[in-house]
Amino acid sequence: MRSNETVPLSPEQSASAAAETSPRRVFVKTYGCQMNVYDSQRMADALAADGYQPTDTVEKADLVLLNTCHIREKAAEKVYSEIGRLRKKKLGGGLKNSDVLIGIAGCVAQAEGEEIIRRAPSVDLVIGPQTYHRLPDVVRRARAGEKVVETDYAVEDKFDHLPHPQPKIVRSRGVSAFLTVQEGCDKFCTFCVVPYTRGAEVSRSVAQIVAEAETLVAAGVREITLLGQNVNAWHGVGVDGRQSGLGELLFRLADIPGLARLRYTTSHPRDMDDALIEAHRDLAVLMPYLHLPVQSGSDRILKAMNRRHTAADYLRLVERIRKARPDIALSGDFIVGFPGETETDFADTLQLVRDVGYVQAYSFKYSPRPGTPGADLENQVPENRKDDRLQQLQAVLNAQNQSFAAGLVGATTDVLIEKPGRNAGQRVGRSPWLIPVVVDEKAGEIGDIVNVRITATGANSLFAETN
Ligand code: 5AD
Ligand code: SF4
């Protein structure tokens, strides 16, 4: 039967029919960083306990959650456009039923709070990242007709209250998983909203982290990426009762049988301590890849950004890390056009990029974020100059990325097979340096780590044959 031949139900009828015949479904759309990917999964877990099953199709959902990002302007604007599209669909009957709830989570929710409902009255609930454990209750209240805004920093630890990931749920997530170990940031770089949207630095306990890692591994996960806005600021009391940092935590996690690979992101140069560098030297399971944002190569701009390190500090650090782990691949974040940035400052950034040599990088035009000190600076850089600098920077970074990949052709390496490839007969795995590797399906099963020889480079991937 074609859909336009069905007899439309009244909203009440369709809601009750849905409740009787099928479980409620939640559609979560994730914007922004990996922390949001992880949070989206945990929100889905929390709602699963309340009878909501996840769906990949917005049209089938009873609850649509947008897990938003506020780091740059475009990200927030995209959310408002998406709300507009959802509203149109809801009014036009394009969604499952007219009582579908629309919820906004994540950093836009935290930053804008009630303003979202004022600007977009079709939104039913707004929930900030610190209160996701209250989501089932918030959804129940919204279902009862209340417009709920929950953006306080909770006094309780959200991780204590979110359901512990169950092997049954985790199994569907594949062989590579994220695990949040730290949230928030006390660094207050003058361009950044994170200290305002995610709050002060909080570290999860070793016991919580180890228990979650063990659950993941028991469910078939082979690679874990530890997440934190400022992950190398993680600190906790180790098994020996002493304060320890991320380096010690990595040593502890490396002991979990069956865990083949560890990664962590994102790091601040100031928090790379000796134990962490030693972990790179001594732990084979710690992959030789490090995301170490520098933002700028100009000391003047680094100071204005409140980064609290110089270009020379960063270069010295990179040297120490490379000494410990010579094959380490570095990745970075860059901002062009921070207020006051001159051509000379920008030339310093290009020089630093040439000096370091990045395998991968993320570069952005400075976007003034309301409430951050950078937004109030007077000497903002015109948009066309930012465009120009971004293009120049990306040309250098892309060339480095391609030359790294080209240099791998002929090399042998281990690949963790993650999923089926786009074409029949192929599988896609991960190299230690994060670049995807396409192999023949005969190379191994999903979850296997196989030794391969790189034969060619693709657009954003490598091709390999088994040895
Ligand atoms: N404008 C542009 N880029 C930004 N980033 C953070 N805040 C801003 C901003 N206001 C970038 C930084 C950071 C990454 C996650 O996003 O490079 O490391
Ligand atoms: Fe933002 Fe990172 Fe600076 Fe913290 S360290 S304020 S998260 S850029």
pLDDT in tens, 134-154: 999 999 999 999 999 999 887
Whether the pLDDT of residue 247 is over 60: the answer is: yes
Task: Report how far Cα 186 is from the mean position of its chain's Cα atoms.
Answer: 19
Ligand 2 atom index nearest CA of 186: 4
Provide mean pLDDT across the span 363-391. 96
Query: What pLDDT does residue 408 have?
Result: 97
Ligand 1 neighbour 190 (Cβ under 6 A): no
Predicted TM-score of the model (pTM): 0.91
Quickly count: other Cβ atoms within 10 Å of residue 388's Cβ.
Answer: 14
Give the pLDDT band (50/70/90) at residue 155: low
Instruction: State pLDDT tens for residues 175-215.
Output: 999 999 999 999 999 999 999 999 999 999 999 999 999 99
Percent of the chain predicted with pLDDT > 70: 93
Whether the pLDDT of residue 370 is over 50: the answer is: yes
Provide mean pLDDT across the span 27-39. 94
Whether the pLDDT of residue 162 is over 80: the answer is: no
Q: What residue spans of 182-332 are helical by DSSP H?
A: 194-197, 206-218, 246-254, 274-282, 299-304, 311-324
Ligand 1 neighbour 366 (Cβ under 6 A): yes
Query: What pLDDT does residue 17 have?
Result: 42
Minimal-distance CA residue to ligand 1 atom 14: 333
Query: What pLDDT does residue 28 have?
Result: 96
Ligand whose nearest atom lies closest to the CA of 232: 2
Nearest to 415 by CA among 279, 246, 260: 260
Percent of the chain predicted with pLDDT > 90: 81
Least reliable range by pLDDT among 30-44, 232-246, 317-331: 232-246
Most ligand 1 atoms within 8 A of CB, residue of 193, 230, 335, 336 to mutate: 335
User: What is the Cα–Cα distance from 291 to 385, expressed in whole angstroms?
Assistant: 27
Burial (CB count <10 Å: 0-12, 13-18, 19+), residue 254? middle
Minimal-distance CA residue to ligand 1 atom 18: 333
- Kindly report the average pLDDT of the chain as a whole number: 91
DSSP notation for 394-441? HHHHHHHHHHHHHHHTT-EEEEEEEEE-SSTTEEEEE-TTS-EEEEEG
Whether the pLDDT of residue 1 is over 50: the answer is: no
Whether the pLDDT of residue 96 is over 50: the answer is: yes
Instruction: State pLDDT tens for residues 407-443.
Output: 999 999 999 999 999 999 999 999 999 999 999 999 9
Ligand 1 neighbour 295 (Cβ under 6 A): yes
CA 120–ligand 2 middle distance (angstroms):
29
Amino acid identity for residue 165 in this structure: P
Ligand 2 atom index nearest CA of 268: 5
Burial (CB count <10 Å: 0-12, 13-18, 19+), residue 26? buried
Whether the pLDDT of residue 82 is over 80: the answer is: yes
Query: What pLDDT does residue 78 have?
Result: 87
CA-CA distances (angstroms) from residue 349 to 2, 335, 373, 394, 462?
59, 9, 22, 12, 29
Ligand 2 atom index nearest CA of 229: 7
- How big, in percent rounded to 5, are the helix, strand and coil portions of the chain? 40, 20, 35
CA 187–ligand 1 middle distance (angstroms):
13
Whether the pLDDT of residue 12 is over 50: the answer is: no
Ligand whose nearest atom lies closest to the CA of 393: 1
Contact of 415 with 421, CB cutoff 8 Å? no
Query: What pLDDT does residue 172 have?
Result: 63
Ligand whose nearest atom lies closest to the CA of 32: 1
Ligand 1 atom index nearest CA of 365: 2
> Pseudo-torsion of CA 195, 197, 203, 208, nearest 10°?
-170
Whether the pLDDT of residue 5 is over 60: the answer is: no
Whether the pLDDT of residue 68 is over 60: the answer is: yes
Quick one: tokens of 344? 């000379």
Minimal-distance CA residue to ligand 2 atom 5: 187
Query: What pLDDT does residue 153 have?
Result: 80
- DSSP secondary structure code for residue 324 in this structure: H
Least reliable range by pLDDT among 75-79, 118-122, 161-165, 205-209: 161-165
User: What is the Cα–Cα distance from 173 to 288, expressed in whole angstroms?
Assistant: 24
Whether the pLDDT of residue 375 is over 80: the answer is: yes
Provide mean pLDDT across the span 103-126. 94
Whether the pLDDT of residue 158 is over 80: the answer is: no
Minimal-distance CA residue to ligand 1 atom 9: 367
Please give all residues whose beta carbon lies within 6 A of any atom in ligand 2, as ranges: 185, 187-189, 192, 194-195, 229-230, 268
> Sign of the CA dihedral 214, 215, 219, 220?
negative
Provide mean pLDDT across the span 111-140. 94
Give the pLDDT band (50/70/90) at residue 3: very low
Minimal-distance CA residue to ligand 1 atom 12: 333
In terms of pLDDT, which residue wins out, 457 or 99?
457
Query: What pLDDT does residue 467 have?
Result: 76
Whether the pLDDT of residue 283 is over 50: the answer is: yes
CA angle 431, 437, 438 (to 5 degrees): 155
Ligand 1 neighbour 192 (Cβ under 6 A): yes
372 upstream amide cis, omega within 30 of 0: no
Query: What pLDDT does residue 238 have?
Result: 76
CA-CA distances (angstroms) from residue 359 to 42, 364, 397, 435?
31, 17, 8, 9
Query: What pLDDT does residue 124 have?
Result: 96
- DSSP secondary structure code for residue 7 in this structure: P
CA 396–ligand 1 middle distance (angstroms):
19
Most ligand 2 atoms within 8 A of CB, residue of 186, 188, 294 to mutate: 188
Give the pLDDT band (50/70/90) at residue 170: low
Provide mean pLDDT across the span 431-458. 96
Query: What pLDDT does residue 92 have?
Result: 75
Contact of 365 with 384, CB cutoff 8 Å? no
Return the half-sphere exposure (C-beta side, CA atoms, 13 A cut-off) of residue 77: 5
